[in-house]
Structure 1
Amino acid sequence: MEATTLAYAFVLVIIIGRFCCVLSAVESIRLARNKEFDGLTCPVSKTIFNADRVDNKIQCASLCTEASSCVGVFHHSQTKDCVGCSSFDKDDAPVLEGKQFYARRPQVFEGLEETNVALGKQTAISSISDSHDKAKGVDGNTNQDLKEGSCFHTDKETDPWWRVDLGAMYHIVDVTLFNRIDSDCEIGGCNRRTRDLRLSMGTTLESMNIVGTVPGQIDDIHTFLFPEGKQARYVQVTLEGLEYLHLCEVQVFGFPTY
């Protein structure tokens, strides 16, 4: 009986220790899901592990932590499959319905605390509607009701845009957009206006490149993830077509380049 109890206790220690390590690994794993990558998986040539019976995203993320070449994982909540990628390019990724992507923080940044490097920085905008100034996109207030005074808003124009100057070079690991969700617009809601977006970054204004797109309407909160980091000083959001552009906050998380 005593031997059985000791054996049981030993198993508990192993299990607790295992999940202790898994949870601490969250600090080096990006667990925010980017719906832009939903329904994809790693190309075979870039797959470093393909595990089954992985119950949740935390356990799946821990497998990525243990593999130094892993930049992110796809987890399927129903089939419990967990696939790790050595690199990831959306254009090369096979389609596999049900997969959700979680990107690992670039290895060079392990142990560093990421911050919102856009907070309070200088901004520019294609036009301003009423008092909904460009600076409200980086004021730290994520309230998504325009009437509360913390959203920027352009006039209705072709390809309206908003941009933040981070003031220095940063390694950027994700950008999160907070859509306007109040109902003061015409039938259909204000959030439907924010659609067909493209996200651009550059080390200079002359070197801006498109790094992400959202065809159709964006989510109320939409995150672009960059598993291997993007080096940039400028970050710009552009709406393609004739429409208003309004967002209530743009968060740019990253690390300074030393």
Structure 2
Amino acid sequence: MPPFSPKKKQSQDLASFGKIPLAVAHNKGIWPQARYQHVLVACARWESDSIAEWLSYHRSIGFDHVYLYCNDDDPSALYEAVLPFMMEGQPFVTFHHYRYTGEQLQMYRHFLRHHVHETKWLMFLDVDEYVCLPGSNDIRQVSARFGGDHDAIYLNWCGYGHSGHATRPTDGVLRNYTMRESGASPFTKILAKAGAVSYRLSYENQHVAIHHDLFGLGAPLRACNMLGESMEGYYENFPEKAWSFLNAENRRARLVEAGYIAHFNIRSEEDFDRRNRRGCLGDFGAQKHWGDKTAEERAAYHAHTNEVSDSYLKDYWESLIGKARAGIIIPLADWPLLSRGKRATQSSTLHEGSRDEDACRAVSGRLMGRPQHHTALEDNPWWMVDLGELCHIHEIMIFNRLDGVLERLSSFRVEVSHDRFFWSTIIDRQGGPVFGGLDGTPFIWRDEAGVLGRFVRVTIPGTGVYLQTDQIEIFGRPFSIEEFEAQIKALREAV
């Protein structure tokens, strides 16, 4: 048998264009085994600054692959931003560049032609949209719950407002936007079985927005919303019929409680005009109206999309980021460090230099695992730091030496003063268990309310004893002039 001609293969591939996914054509009409369970298909333009957060979030809720279509003029910035997601043994991202601005549906059809066979479930999602699943945070539960009786699950939009930002914050989306409209809105995105999104019908009906509605393709479809209600006919006479449906039976609120698409559409005052600058060609043509809005229309949009406070996504994201503390070596304080580099003194020294020079080594900010300051053998030796101003003292960490005689810090007293004449004891430790320091086990005292003081003094009670530590760290916040004025006002009113 003569070898298969590349030209003949190309001819056959072209013959199947617009009719059948390429891999299915190569496999004699049989769909290959899917590699993924749940994937996202996204078109991204001007999204390099937020793409890593968007990818990480959706990976955390169970999506196992993303087909990312870069629509930037130059793909380099977005490619660099997602490079870590493509360097694994099983990359999380498949990256394509499509240079014709706004041809979003053509990118989706490219996916249907080349990749749809690789997954069981898919969703077309923009990078300013986040799938929010209150309670479960797991897309797999959605497909498991509805997939037995349905081909597709429609998730309604819920628009998030700019939360008062004049310009976009540089540290991500989820932690900065907590204001949204009061309930679900008419547009939807769809979690669909791969076989329910017909490449052929999409090619033949190129006007159908398959990312919002699949009924427009004309094929039989079993679809529901996140309440399990049928979505057949939902997009007829849109959006009037959809609004009537949503406004009935408290459905707007119930859909948000069940699961929705958080749409971060306008993230700052400048975003109205940014939409136009990004480009309004192709399927982006409808974006032009954002830049044309008057000041009154912009204010009305802000009022609508900042109606209620909702920190669910922020809290979820911070719970993920908070796991960074699980691997911390030295405990992280809950307040700013006040004592580093401040003036200090002590009752005596065994080290070279003055008492002050020796005492300051305890607030140098460098952990060594050995005594960095050391008093002489004396009665009730003490060490003191001047924070430089009156402060709310919330937390103190004392790092013990680790090279021996750790028990010397089994007993100590910590006092706080405004003026070095009148002292208040906040810690009186007598014969406590041994603690460490550089190893990650320093002594820690915390007070949520805080104690006012400028000077902090540590004393070892007893006759003929030493005082030495590795570091002493004091955390809190300065006492503000506003607080001082408020206290004076309260005293005057009391009199």
**Length-normalised TM-score, structure 1:** 0.55
Aligned to 1:196: 411
* SS of corresponding position for 1:175: strand
Aligned to 1:213: 428
- 1:17: Cα distance to partner? 3.9
The residue identity in structure 1 corresponding to 2:478 is P
* 1:143 partnered with 2:368: yes
Which structure 2 residues correspond to residues 39-118 of structure 1 after superposition, within 5 A?
114-118=335-339
Aligned to 2:146: 4
The residue identity in structure 2 corresponding to 1:228 is A
- Distance in 1 (CA, whole Å) between partners of 2:430 and 2:259 is 49
* 1:123 partnered with 2:338: no
* SS of corresponding position for 2:431: strand
- Distance in 2 (CA, whole Å) between partners of 1:251 and 1:197 is 15
- Distance in 1 (CA, whole Å) between partners of 2:260 and 2:381 is 57
- Distance in 1 (CA, whole Å) between partners of 2:342 and 2:370 is 22
Describe the shift of the 1:25–1:207 C-alpha distance in structure 2 as closer, same or farther (beyond 3 A).
Answer: farther
Q: Deviations over 1:166-211 (max 9, x none)?
A: 11111111010000111xxxxxx32111121111001111121100
Q: Is the 8 A contact 1:195 1:239 kept in 2?
A: no
- Distance in 1 (CA, whole Å) between partners of 2:458 and 2:472 is 9
- 1:126: Cα distance to partner? 0.7
The residue identity in structure 1 corresponding to 2:471 is E
- Distance in 1 (CA, whole Å) between partners of 2:360 and 2:144 is 67
Q: Deviations over 1:195-238 (max 9, x none)?
A: 21111001111121100122224411101111101111000111
* 1:241 partnered with 2:383: no
- Distance in 2 (CA, whole Å) between partners of 1:164 and 1:213 is 18
- Higher-strand-fraction structure: 1
Output the aligned Cα RMSD: 3.4
* SS of corresponding position for 1:192: helix
- 1:3: Cα distance to partner? 6.1
* 1:169 partnered with 2:379: no
- 1:156: Cα distance to partner? 1.2
* SS of corresponding position for 1:205: coil
Q: List structure 1 runs of 4+ shifted beyond 6 angstroms.
A: none
Aligned to 1:225: 446
In structure 2, runs of 5+ residues without a counterpart are: 1-142, 148-152, 154-225, 228-257, 262-311, 323-327, 437-441, 481-495
- 1:144: Cα distance to partner? 1.6
Q: Which has the higher contact order (CA 8 A, sep 6+)?
A: 1
Q: Is the 8 A contact 2:341 2:364 kept in 1?
A: yes
Select the structure of larger CA radius of gyration: 2
Q: Deviations over 1:15-41 (max 9, x none)?
A: x84851663897xxxxx9xxxxxxxxx
The residue identity in structure 1 corresponding to 2:414 is L
Q: Deviations over 1:151-170 (max 9, x none)?
A: 11111111111000111111
Q: Percent identity?
A: 24
- 1:11: Cα distance to partner? 6.7
Describe the shift of the 1:3–1:191 C-alpha distance in structure 2 as closer, same or farther (beyond 3 A).
Answer: closer
* 1:253 partnered with 2:395: no
Q: Is the 8 A contact 1:144 1:179 kept in 2?
A: yes
- Higher-helix-fraction structure: 2
- Say which of 376, 399, 411 aligns to 1:178: 399
Describe the shift of the 1:236–1:180 C-alpha distance in structure 2 as closer, same or farther (beyond 3 A).
Answer: same
* 1:134 partnered with 2:359: yes
Q: Is the 8 A contact 2:416 2:423 kept in 1?
A: yes
**Length-normalised TM-score, structure 2:** 0.30
Q: Is the 8 A contact 2:362 2:471 kept in 1?
A: yes
- Distance in 1 (CA, whole Å) between partners of 2:458 and 2:451 is 16
The residue identity in structure 2 corresponding to 1:219 is F
Describe the shift of the 1:160–1:2 C-alpha distance in structure 2 as closer, same or farther (beyond 3 A).
Answer: closer
- Distance in 1 (CA, whole Å) between partners of 2:474 and 2:460 is 18
* SS of corresponding position for 1:142: coil
State the number of aligned residues: 163
- Distance in 1 (CA, whole Å) between partners of 2:477 and 2:423 is 19
Describe the shift of the 1:11–1:143 C-alpha distance in structure 2 as closer, same or farther (beyond 3 A).
Answer: farther
